[in-house]
């Protein structure tokens, strides 16, 4: 697991409610593509199997978006890493039949 992924997990999987929202977004087949805005990171669902996680900063004056340190990850890799981290934190982990 990369250092960036560890940082993402530490920041975003810090509370049961945060975990629930993120994992629901990932598991949802009704959301084919889109973005989930977390505390510091954005999870971009490219399609049902591919995700990009990145830090995003928007400048108020001109609305310019800067994207930093993107991580490309598959759905199964992301679910595994999030659920493993959540288990270590003592959270109730959701497992859906895939």
Residue 98 has pLDDT above 80, yes or no: no
Residues 27-67: tens digit of each pLDDT: 999 999 999 999 999 999 999 999 999 998 887 788 788 89
Question: Cβ–Cβ contacts within 10 Å for residue 56, how many?
Answer: 16
Give the strands of the sheet with 34-37, arranged side by side: 34-37, 41-45, 50-58, 65-74
Residue 87 has pLDDT above 90, yes or no: yes
In this prediction, residue 23 has a pLDDT band, given cuts at 50, 70 and 90, of very high
pLDDT (0 to 100) of residue 77: 96
Percent above pLDDT 90 for the chain: 80
């Amino acid at each position: 697991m990369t250092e960036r992924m560890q940082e993402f997990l530490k920041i975003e999987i810090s509370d049961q409610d945060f975990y629930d929202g993120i994992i629901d977004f990932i598991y949802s087949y009704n959301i084919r593509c889109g973005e989930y805005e977390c505390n510091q990171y954005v999870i971009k669902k490219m399609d049902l199997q591919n995700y990009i996680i990145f830090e995003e900063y928007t400048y108020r004056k001109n609305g310019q978006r800067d994207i930093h340190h993107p991580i490309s990850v598959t759905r199964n890799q992301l679910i595994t890493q999030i659920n493993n981290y959540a288990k270590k934190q003592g959270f109730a982990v959701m497992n859906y039949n895939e």
